[in-house]
Chains A and B, each alone.
Chain A
Amino acid sequence: MNKAGKKVILLGNEAIVRGALEEGVDFVSTYPGTPASEIGDVFFKLSQDKNYRGYFEFSTNEKVALEAGIGASFSGLKTLVAMKNFGLNVCLDSLLPFVYTGTKGPTVIVVADDPSCHSSAQSEENSRFIAYAAHIPVLEPSDPQECKDFLRLGFRISERYKIPVIVRTTTRVAHQKMPVILGQMPKLGSRKGRFIKDVKSFVTLPPRVLEMKKELLEKIEKIKEFSEKQSVNLLIGKPSRQKLGIIASGISYLYVMEALKELNLSLPVLKLGFFYPLPEEKIKKFVKTLKKVLIVEELEPYLEKEVERLAKNTNPKLQIFGKNLVPEIGELKPEYVIQAMAKITGKFYNLQPETYDLAIKRFPQLCPGCPYWLVISAIKKAVDVKNVIFGGEIGCYMLFGNPPVNLQDYLSCMGSSVGIAHGIKKSTGQKIIAFVGDSSFFHAGIPALINTVFNKSNPLIIILNNRTTAMTGHQPHPAAQSEPNGINIEAVVRACGVKYVKTINQINQEEFVNTVKDFLKKPEVSVIIATNPCVFVAKK
């Protein structure tokens, strides 16, 4: 299995793990989130073996995961942090200064986007914005082989330029499988880091912080030069008679190659492995002799705008096609790219009409036997649902928004159900029940709970403690699976200053119903902790 040179079918996320292991990663931290979850799952499994040489943790949220990683990097360890796109938002506050201080131990951050929101509520985020906000190098693999290769390249860039590097995937890359050629695993013993005081490098106190920014921008210039010479920015094919070229990266590149095959076209393609910094000279050279260029990218037209900017002086007459031919909302599909290329080349492509009239809509549902069904039934018995506002959140319980449950009047990000409930309470005084999961509570719910106490509002908060991070694949969290050693949620709630708290197993329907009725009348914030475990935890 581990032999170098062997071909093994790997999921994109598994290939990322393999790449990190081949690099000899020391320290890995993550918070689970699809489509990045399997990275943590595989490392978790590895770390259960006492011979595993590295360190792994599921952190309480992505900000904490990154901060743990920053500490490891400052101590000289080779570090990997993984998260989904929304996790990047959570950790932004720590990320920007980290790019300023730079790394000591090489550090790669994996960020997984989910165009079309297959496994994401809240927004269709394109994490590329971070390149501009943070001046952090961003690499975009197309498939599992590249996931492994780009991860290793990320570590090399980080080592050479002392800067963290992002490897950005999307669902169709992270959850794609293909045979991957394995590399050599290094023979390393366990490594202990050492933090060596270096105020100039690690303290972002002004006025030093502005010097750091200058140093960062200089690094980026150097990495730009480096990226010009990298084969991951690859020119494929020869100039065509129609003087048309294509620029693509990530999964879009695979669709472009598919489209060329399908339409029997031979066109030059510039495949970009770097999103930031872009190999600008390479791009300029590519577009210089073209009449038309098609940029194929998912979501917002970041590359298109860059090419527009670069072409302005190099080739002002260049016709640039992109979002006028491929959609900005939702993931790309190969047929969209085939159609766009057919249109631009004047080829005829007959698309099979989509006869879909009989297909039926199937909403995701809570599992049979899920303890949340008991919470739902208790609430429907306790209150007239028309007169109560229900705050939703990220986790299995966001399915409360689907029929036949329909108990969700707003849904935003993790930890937000409580924060928003407070605002609604303060603004209206209407009755409100906010749901928050156990993992979510630790992730971002606690500051919001403290705020309801501090600023005096009285929503009813129901913490659904099913003892696991269920939605993403049953990862542990601070109160889960390690009881009695786990953190006691009720004690945390009390310590936040909440007076009306009850821990109830929702099997006791009558008690649950009566407590909901009672707590909704309280003049201060109240909390019910529902403790029946997830069916998958109960099975263990």
Chain B
Amino acid sequence: MITLLQIIAEAAMSEGYSVRTSELHGLSQRGGSVEVHVRFGRKIYSPLISQGKADLVLGLEMQESLRGIYVANPTTKFLVNKFIIPIPLKKPLSENEVLVGLKKISKDVNLIPAADICREKLGADVVSGIYLLSLAVFKKIIPLKPSSILSAIKKIIPEKYLELNLKTFNLART
């Protein structure tokens, strides 16, 4: 997730935007929920998105995407990985429950089977986040050039994983 932030931030900087991100490390990474923010534009001050002010919520897990409601408004777009990580001793929410929850606030909710697509076509679902990010750029949901995102991926992803990530990027184009 922090990698996704870094890619967006690099791409935004390369296009001359003011950009800030906020992330969390440590305890919050131990299987807890991780929420990271990125903002770019002409002049950005706060690294945190204000309540109800997000343009896009990228959810890498369905249940977690409900946390995005806090920063959402009716025009906020949700791109959510159709993927569930169960919580110990709890019955996972159904796809429908998640949809109903998100639709209460947003008119633009999209569940994308990114994990399935990546597993099927690339043999790895760890790149689901890169897939969703690339999709968002190709669909012009994130107003950055695909070429900027591509350069950022090349700059940030370690050599070892670069090929897989480039394949993911190209998969999202089609």
Contacts and interface: CB of A to CB of B under 8 A. Distances in A.
A175 B46 contact: no
B51 A175 contact: no
Given A335-B51, A360-B93, A175 B69 contact: no
A358 B47 contact: no
A359 B69 contact: yes
Contact of A261 (B25, B31, B45): B45
A365 interface: yes
Interface string A110-134: 0000000011110000000000000
Nearest to B17: A179
Contact of B26 (A35, A178, A334): A35
B46 A355 contact: no
B93 A366 contact: no
A123 to B, nearest CB: 15
A386 interface: no
B158 interface: no
Interface in B11-43: 13, 19-33, 43
Given A334-B48, A352-B52, A364 B27 contact: yes
B12 to A, nearest CB: 9
15 contacts: A9-B19, A37-B25, A175-B23, A176-B20, A176-B22, A177-B21, A179-B13, A254-B46, A257-B46, A261-B43, A352-B73, A354-B70, A358-B93, A362-B63, A365-B30
A521 interface: no
A73 B46 CA distance: 37
A511 interface: no
Contacts of A11: 23
Interface stretch (B2-10, B109-117, B143-151): B2-10
A175 B22 contact: yes
Interface in A321-337: 333-335
B97 interface: yes
Nearest to A332: B48
B174 interface: no
Q: Which of B49, B87, B97 has the most CB of A within 10 A?
A: B87
A143 B20 contact: yes
B15 to A, nearest CB: 12
A11 B2 CA distance: 11
Interface string B83-123: 00001111001000110110011000000000000000000
Interface residues of B, number: 49
A254 B30 contact: no
B25 A177 contact: no
Interface string A317-353: 0000000000000000111001000000000000110
Nearest to B73: A352
B13 A7 contact: yes
Given A7-B13, A9-B9, A119-B25, A333 B30 contact: no
Interface stretch (A44-52, A89-97, A100-108, A396-404): A396-404
- 5 A-B pairs closest in CB distance: A352-B52, A34-B26, A119-B26, A364-B32, A358-B101
A34 B100 CA distance: 37
B66 interface: yes
B72 A352 contact: yes
Q: Quick one: which of B25, B26, B66 has the most chain A CB within 10 A? A: B26
A360 B46 CA distance: 27
Contacts of B47: 143, 172, 176-178, 254
Contacts of A38: 25
Contacts of A35: 25-26
Interface of B: 5-6, 9-10, 13, 19-33, 43, 45-53, 63-64, 66-67, 69-70, 72-73, 87-90, 93, 97-98, 100-101, 104-105
A454 interface: no
A402 B43 CA distance: 42
Interface of A: 7, 9, 11, 34-35, 37-38, 118-121, 143, 171-172, 175-179, 254-255, 257-258, 261-262, 333-335, 338, 351-352, 354-367, 396, 399, 403-404, 471-473
A359 B48 contact: no
Given A7-B13, A9-B10, A352-B72, A359 B23 contact: no
A118 B93 contact: no
Contacts of A120: 27
B73 to A, nearest CB: 5
Nearest to A257: B45
A255 B50 CA distance: 9
B25 A34 contact: yes
A172 to B, nearest CB: 6
Nearest to B71: A352
A176 B21 contact: yes
Nearest to B74: A352
Question: Which residue among A34, A37, A367, A473 has the maximum number of chain B CB atoms within 10 Å of its CB?
Answer: A34
Contacts of B28: 118-119, 364
B1 to A, nearest CB: 13
B48 A9 contact: no
B59 to A, nearest CB: 12
Contacts of B98: 358
A360 B63 contact: yes
Contacts of A7: 13
Contacts of B50: 258, 262, 333-335, 338
Contacts of B105: 352, 355
Contacts of B88: 365, 403-404
B8 to A, nearest CB: 10
Contacts of B21: 176-178
B33 A362 contact: yes
Contact of A404 (B10, B24, B43, B89): B89
Given A143-B20, A364-B27, A399-B30, 17 more contacts: A37-B26, A118-B27, A120-B27, A257-B45, A261-B43, A262-B50, A333-B48, A354-B69, A357-B101, A358-B66, A361-B87, A362-B33, A362-B64, A365-B88, A367-B30, A404-B88, A472-B26
A262 B73 CA distance: 16
Most buried by A among B29, B32, B45, B97: B45
A356 B72 CA distance: 11
A352 B93 CA distance: 25
B24 A351 contact: no
A362 B69 contact: no
B11 to A, nearest CB: 11
A21 B130 CA distance: 34
A261 B52 CA distance: 16
